[in-house]
Chain A
């Protein structure tokens, strides 16, 4: 327990200074990972300090780590040029419903095109929240970096991880929020 707090403190320092060296990987774990081959080890050994924190705390950050962690995650969020947070819902539809892109339907219910999973909350009729600036911003930020709101969650940090460009995230925001989007006008597909 004591050891894990010490490592947390070291990692937080690493996180704050942006140093990539902070890690909890022991020499034994490093050797094991390297035994899996170069391509595998390249990914697993290049662990960021925030990923390391989620790992050692088994995805549940203790209170003293939580504050600085969320602050850091908020700092990582970038916005589309021009600041438009709602793009084209048609383009967003393709991203949301494509396995190799947003893959949102695998975990969330609500799409009229795919039966959703239930790992994440249902997004059915998400547009009922309206399109105020606050709702747009929250939706955009959760997709760009979920860890700023739900630290260590399974949802990919689409913007931070480089999986979607800011403009593409704005398209998904439009798919969810635009009153004329199929997401809000057509019934969700159910199992």
Chain B
């Protein structure tokens, strides 16, 4: 029943998107923030719901459903604040988890819970489900201050590796993250403003990107960065993502940044 309703709303949203595209033809807004705001309003007016909220609703169903070989929900999943505590969970991730003995971000933690609690094999975990769950858990940290402070030796080591990776130049285009997101923060690449971690880079993910018409998690967004400079991105849930997220979000914390509305809505 709930699923049916979800599809109806999804259909409406798609209609809204098509309408939005039709309305924007020929009058392209050059400020990406204003354009995102306009697109968001169009969704609100035509569908009454944002795509990010649909993903979160789908994630909510998945979170509470009894699934996997063990037929249990994810309600016992501990994101660092205690089992099932979701309020503000995203704000303090990535962090070290004693049960898996490693530093995990939100996406990796969800996979760990699906494997450890529900009994899925790692290769059975569907990316789309993880993304919906990310949207749901993130929605409980909407507009909250980012609070990633590396404390344990494992977290500090991950932060330091993330910083090394951030400055690591490689590939036939000599790229690293810093050369744009530090040296040229405040400038524009084409139409897109470039931000540094201290300025809050990474504070809008997971987000619905209206240009791609897809939900992007922070890992998706980092992968997109690598792809756009011709480097094959790391495998999902692997440590390079966790290290880079740790570095960016700890710096965003130092810059006293908040998350945007979660899931975000962006270009």
A118 vs B188: C-alpha distance when bound (angstroms)? 6
Question: Which residues of chain B in 125-143 are interfacial with respect to chain A, using CB atoms and an 8 Å cutoff?
Answer: none
Residues of chain A within 8 A of B124, CB atoms compared: none
Known: A33-B240, A119-B189, A157-B174. A54 touches B169 (CB 8 A): yes
**Contact, CB under 8 Å: B174 / A119:** no
Q: A115-B30, A119-B189 are in contact. List 6 more A-B contacts (CB 8 A).
A: A40-B235, A117-B191, A119-B188, A156-B174, A161-B173, A161-B174
- Name B176's closest neighbour in chain A (CB-CB): A55
CB pair B188 A37 closer than 8 Å: no
Asked if A37 meets B190 with Cβ closer than 8 Å, knowing A28-B157, A156-B174, A161-B174, the reply is: no
Whether B176 lies near A32 (C-beta < 8 A) is no
CA distance A28 to B164 in the complex (A): 11
Chain A residues near B171 (CB, 8 Å)? 43-44
The 8 A CB mask of B33-76 against A (1 = contact, 0 = none) is 00000000000000000000000000000000000000000000
Report A-chain residues with C-beta under 8 Å of the C-beta of B214. Answer: none
| Chain A interfacial positions (CB closer than 8 Å to B) | 26, 28-29, 32-33, 35-37, 39-40, 42-47, 51-52, 54-56, 58-59, 105-107, 114-115, 117-119, 147, 152-154, 156-157, 161-163, 191
The reply to whether A55 and B161 form a contact with Cβ atoms under 8 Å apart is: no
Q: Which of B157, B168, B176, B231: most chain A CB closer than 10 A?
A: B168
| A47 and B178 contact, CB distance less than 8 A | no
Number of interface residues of B (CB under 8 A): 37
> Is A32 a contact partner of B179 (Cβ separation < 8 A)?
no
Asked if A40 and B240 make an inter-chain contact with CB atoms under 8 angstroms apart, the answer reads: yes
In the complex, what residues of B have CB within 8 A of residue A154's CB?
175, 179-180, 183-184
> B234 to A40, Cβ gap below 8 A?
yes
Q: What residues of chain A lie closer than 8 Å to B194, measured between beta carbons? A: 119
Report whether A115 and B190 are in contact in the complex, using a CB–CB cutoff of 8 Å.
Answer: yes
Does the CB pair B164–A119 fall under 8 Å? no
**Cβ–Cβ contact B173 & A58, under 8 A:** no
Instruction: Specify which of A29, A42, A56, A114 lies most central, judged by the most chain B CB atoms within 10 Å of its CB.
Output: A29
Q: A106–B173 Cα gap in the complex (Å)? A: 15
**In the complex the two chains form, what is the Cα distance from A39 to B240 in whole Å?**
13
State A43–B226 Cα separation when bound (angstroms).
Answer: 11
Residues in B with CB closer than 8 Å to A147 are 174
On whether the beta carbons of A40 and B232 are closer than 8 Å, the reply is yes
Verify if B187 is at the interface (C-beta below 8 Å from A). yes
The listed residue (B157, B165, B169) touching A33 by CB distance below 8 A is: B165
| A36 and B190 contact, CB distance less than 8 A | no
Q: How far is the CA of A59 from the CA of B174 in the complex (A)?
A: 11
Interface string of B222-264 (1 = CB under 8 A from A): 0000100001111100111101000000000000000000000
Interchain CB contact under 8 A, B172 and A44:
no
The CA of A52 and the CA of B174, in the complex, are separated in Å by 10
Alpha-carbon distance between A47 and B183 when the two chains are bound, in angstroms? 21
CA distance A58 to B168 in the complex (A): 9
| B171 nearest CB neighbor, chain A only | A43
Which 6 interchain pairs have the tightest Cβ spacing? A36-B234, A39-B232, A161-B172, A37-B235, A36-B240, A35-B239
Residue B7 at the chain A interface, CB threshold 8 Å? no
Closest B residue by C-beta to A35: B239
Closest to B192 in A: A117
Sample of 29 A–B contacts (CB below 8 Å): A26-B164, A32-B161, A33-B165, A33-B240, A35-B238, A35-B240, A36-B238, A37-B235, A40-B231, A46-B170, A47-B170, A51-B169, A54-B174, A55-B167, A55-B168, A56-B167, A59-B167, A59-B178, A106-B189, A117-B189, A117-B191, A147-B174, A152-B169, A152-B179, A154-B175, A154-B180, A154-B184, A161-B172, A161-B174
